[in-house]
Structure 1
Amino acid sequence: VLKGDVRIGQSPSLAVNPANGEVYAVYESNPTGPDQADVYFIRSSDGGVTWSEPVKISDDRTPNDQFFPFIAVSPDGTIGVSFNDRRKDPANLKYDKYLAISRDGGHTFEPNIRMSSASSPIPPVETYGSCYMGDYDQIVADKNYFYAAWGDNRNQALTWRTGASMPRPRQEAAVVGVGDAVLAIGGYYTDLPTVADTGTNEAYLPASNHWVTLAPDPVRRADAAAAAYGPYAYVAGGRSLPAGDILASFDRYDALTNSWTQLPPMPTPRAGFGMARVGSTIYAIGGRDCSLYVACGQALDVNESYNINTGRWETRAPLPTARMDFATVAVNNKIYVLGGYNKDEGGPLSSVEVYDPVTDTWRQGLSIPITRFSEGAAACGDKIVLFGGYSPSYAPSSRVRIYDTISNKWQYGPFLKVPRAEIQGASAGGHIFAIGGSYAANPRYAGYNELFPCKTMGAFRPDPDAFFAKIPVSPTAMPISSSENSLLSPKPESITWELASLTKNSVTFVVQGQGISSMDVQLFDLSGRRVAQESTRGNRLTLRWGTTQANGVYLYLVTVRGMDGSAIRGKVEKFVLLR
């Protein structure tokens, strides 16, 4: 492992000279002296039975590292070796991509060529034991050029930061921000063979990046909901396993005295519901009547409010769409209910419903571009950040969407580092927190903690891109320094899209071109009303509408996105649907 926690494997890269059949190998090794890693070349003229003495490839005179070499041979026997090189950074951290060329079978190498135009920093290691940077770089050759591709971090992108994980991982905890701290209350420990809900109450302190243990909730519960008011956290409902009870209990935690107070219970026992506070009133919305697991039982449309000043519960206007396991966020004195699950409505939901406590009325909001349930959400000012959750196939997701409540638009957000579901969102100290949740595919990430800075709508960090360069094989050819390109940005001139198929029940779109990561299609009727929208990874998307779409002319708009988040929007085009 090199400085910066960069893992190197010391695995050789092999090539055969098509002109004479010699076998070549390049590798990194720790030489004598201050260098930790340098790159070497060896040759075999007898099919690998014997090998030549190593030849150092780099012409660097510093003690800095060279690592991850890859070799290619042109048809005339010219050898090209690409490798990572830290010679330009006195701190021996940033790296460039270099090329060494030999025209005499590797006996000597010409002065090295710097292919990258900017040095690349090492990204911070957060989810793996060491940094993987360069393992899959490649170089190939034809009679005219060496073609090299490599991973590069010169650009900046927004992401989530990683905080200290839960001291002992829990799932389905109620998570709420109180002051500058985040409380994780209840849930169940993921390291036990059977589910047994707990009253554990722990607080994450972002300023010191550590957890403290607080007075436990007197009620052992999971899948509850929580809201904050001043120094208090209010926790309601949930379920209690192994007994399997659905709870109506309602309790208040006082952060100043580290103590709990029992309050009047909710009129309706439930789990998997949402809770939000507007002014001095707490609202408990929706949920399910089943205690066993996510998406079980019957979805509820209940809406009950608790007046903090009077200590009384009231029944309010019910949810238009009953739902469970959804996200709930209060923004500008309105409560947003997003996504969730209702088996009677087809399962996972993308709909958004907005409650006005003043008028006790609901209205439809702009649907989420993706269906999600058991997801998390929290507010950054006027914006709602929606993250994680289960996809319709019950796969935990890392996708993030951001809803601007002022402009009424959804946009892409930086992905979570670890996909998770059965997670709640919390806001505290200018950040959003995604703590705990379910990631059954890799239990090592249970209890994971990610932070999203609201001021910048994400944390800046080096952004891995794929870069490409070609260098002439012939020494008389003009070098093409301008041929270095990012492979992850879509190029407008290379993007084409088409309506690939149209049936009575669906329409399929296909995009082609360089740097495509995902695509989005919006469908409108002639009045301008959007009737469908879908996003997908890759370059093929099918919108299905069953038998509900009327005959007529429809307009569609295709948006293509690259790995770097940049977008290209096409012109509005049309098709005619006739059954």
Structure 2
Amino acid sequence: MWKFLQLLVLPAVLFSGCAKAGGLDWHTLAPMPIAVQEIYPAVHNGKIYVAGGLSDALPEAEQQMTAAVQVYDPAINRWTMAPLLPEARHHAYLLSVDNKLFLFGGFVIANGGRWSASADILQLDETNGVWRKVAQLPKPLTETVAVVLNGNVHFVSGRSPSGPENAQWRDQADVNWHWVFDPLSLTVSKAAPVATPLNSASAVALKQQLYMMGGRKVGAGNLALLQRFDPALSQWQQLAPMPQASGGLAAAALGQHILVFGGEYFDNDGGVYAPVWQYDAAADSWQQQGSMPLPRHGLGAVTLNNKVYVLGGATEAGLKATSAVLEVVTLSDN
């Protein structure tokens, strides 16, 4: 059985800092060993996994991207390293389903660039400590959203090559695809597409429905859309839009609410969004829950043990000011 390489050990007295924002309490935990942005972390067997990512702190000779897989154990506030990915990769979607950890798509170094979209589906072989390619998506896919519904993985939107070239970000185009991955047969089928092609949105599963919020269209800027997919009816529904259009954001479900964090904008010299938005699914309404202590884009958010963990990202728009911060968010009345 392979073992994690221990990188960082901190006392189990967890918090190095805390803040209150709106109805939320924020606490700072052990930082990631490697600061990364453009990540989609996953909870797997009670731990938080972060695979790959971009960072301005990484060498330009390595294209400022990593194959590292970082693992956080909330029980002891400690980071370790899991087996490396076969190659450096960013914007790759990590999900745990059927007690297996999968990695989907993302950008790799190929064809002379670091923005070559991949169709790979990788699975972590935990017994032998290696990632294995087990299947492929129908087409390369990046900057998508994904959630698990009824034991299957639903992918919606993102970017894919618009022609034969596949090396640079400009070679990709927004898509409105909706695919469903079966972890048992390792096959992908089509589902009802979303109305608007877009990328860099965020999504959560709540009451076995998919909620997708925000995102952006190349050439048209950020979106405030909130869209819900009901797999029982195979239908999409438009809901109350976000108070602030945003792309490159993160979201997580906490109880019967959805919390939305960060994002970036590129007009007026660019920047990142600070407000935290809470969506009440029963009332179809939004309200602000304070602001992030450290606003970021390209970050990740996951729910574990009735807490939301917010990690990584960058404090400035684009590939700069990448952060290693890990924060845990709870409701103040907890």
Common fold by TM > 0.5: yes
Match for 2:159: what amino acid? Answer: R
Distance of 1:256 and 1:202 partners within structure 2? 18
What does the per-residue CA deviation read over 1:476-529, in whole Å, with 9 as the maximum and x for residues that have no partner?
xxxxxxxxxxxxxxxxxxxxxxxxxxxxxxxxxxxxxxxxxxxxxxxxxxxxxx
Q: 1:256 to 1:412 in 2, by over 3 A?
A: farther
Please tell me the residue identity of whatever aligns with 1:391. Y
Instruction: Please state if 1:335 is matched with 2:218.
Output: no
Q: 1:445 to 1:246 in 2, by over 3 A?
A: closer
Q: Does 1:348 align with 2:241?
A: no
Name the amino acid aligned to 1:218: P
Greater RCO between the two (CA within 8 Å, min separation 6)?
2
Determine whether 1:277 maps to 2:148: yes
* Whole-angstrom distance in 2 between the partners of 1:459 and 1:170: 32
Aligned in 2, Cα 1:409/1:450: closer, same or farther, shift over 3 Å? same
- In structure 2, which of residues 26, 49, 66 is the aligned counterpart of residue 198 of structure 1? 66
Q: Unpaired runs of 5+ in structure 1?
A: 1-123, 128-152, 461-579
Call closer, same or farther: CA 1:263–1:360 in 2, change over 3 Å. farther
Q: 1:296 to 1:354 in 2, by over 3 A?
A: farther
User: 1:398, 1:188 → 2: CA distance?
Assistant: 21
Distance 1:395 1:229, change over 3 A: same
CA contact (8 A) 1:179 1:230 kept: no
Match of 1:171, SS?
A: coil
CA distance in 1, matches of 2:171, 2:313: 18
| Structure 2 length-normalised TM | 0.83
The alignment's C-alpha RMSD in Å is 2.8
Q: Is the 8 A contact 1:386 1:401 kept in 2?
A: yes
Q: Is the 8 A contact 2:311 2:327 kept in 1?
A: yes
Q: Describe the shift of the 1:254–1:432 C-alpha distance in structure 2 as closer, same or farther (beyond 3 A).
A: farther
Letter in 2 for 1:307: D
Matches for 1:256-295 after TM superposition, within 5 Å:
258-289=129-160, 292=168
Bigger Rg, structure 1 or 2:
1
Instruction: Check 1:125–1:200 CA distance in 2 against 1; reply closer, same or farther (3 A cut).
Output: closer
Q: Could you say what secondary structure the match of 2:241 adopts?
A: coil
Partner in structure 2 of residue 134 of structure 1:
none
Q: Distance in 2 between matches of 1:219 and 1:382?
A: 38
* Number of residue equivalences: 307
Rounded to whole Å, the distance in 1 between the matches of 2:274 and 2:200 is 17
Percentage of matched positions with identical amino acids: 21
Pairing 1:253–2:148 present: no
Residue of structure 2 in register with 1:82 after alignment: none
Match of 1:326 in 2: 201
| CA spacing shift, 1:387–1:200, aligned 2, 3 Å | same
Question: Is structure 2 residue 300 aligned with structure 1 residue 424?
Answer: yes
Instruction: Give the match for residue 93 of structure 2.
Output: 225
Structure 1 residue 340: Cα displacement: 0.3
Q: Could you tell me which residue of structure 2 aligns to residue 571 of structure 1? A: none
Superposed structure 1 runs of 4+ greater than 6 Å apart: 441-445
User: Any conservation in 1 of the 2:41–2:301 contact (CA below 8 Å)?
Assistant: yes
Q: Does the aligned pair in 2 maintain the 1:340–1:350 contact within 8 Å? A: yes
Alignment partner, residue 5 of structure 2: none
Q: 1:201 to 1:365 in 2, by over 3 A?
A: same
Within 2, Cα distance between the matches of 1:190 and 1:292? 18
Q: What residue is the counterpart of 2:8 in the other structure?
A: none
**Does the 8 Å CA contact 1:179/1:428 hold for their aligned counterparts?**
no
1:244 aligned counterpart, secondary structure: strand
**Structure 2 CA distance for partners of 1:438 and 1:296, relative to 1, 3 Å:** farther
The superposition leaves residues 179-217 of structure 1 with CA deviations (integer Å, 9 ceiling, x where unpaired) of: 321101011343135234322111111121110111112
Q: What does residue 305 of structure 1 align with?
A: 180
Q: Give the 3 Å change call, closer, same or farther, for CA 233–348 of structure 1 in structure 2.
A: same
Are residue 180 (structure 1) and residue 46 (structure 2) matched? yes
1:11-50 matched pairs, under 5 angstroms: none
The code of the aligned residue for 1:208 comes to I
The question of whether the paired residues in 2 share the 8 Å contact of 1:203 and 1:213 is answered with yes
Structure 2 equivalent of residue 45 of structure 1: none
Unmatched tracts of structure 2, length 5 or more: 1-14, 162-166
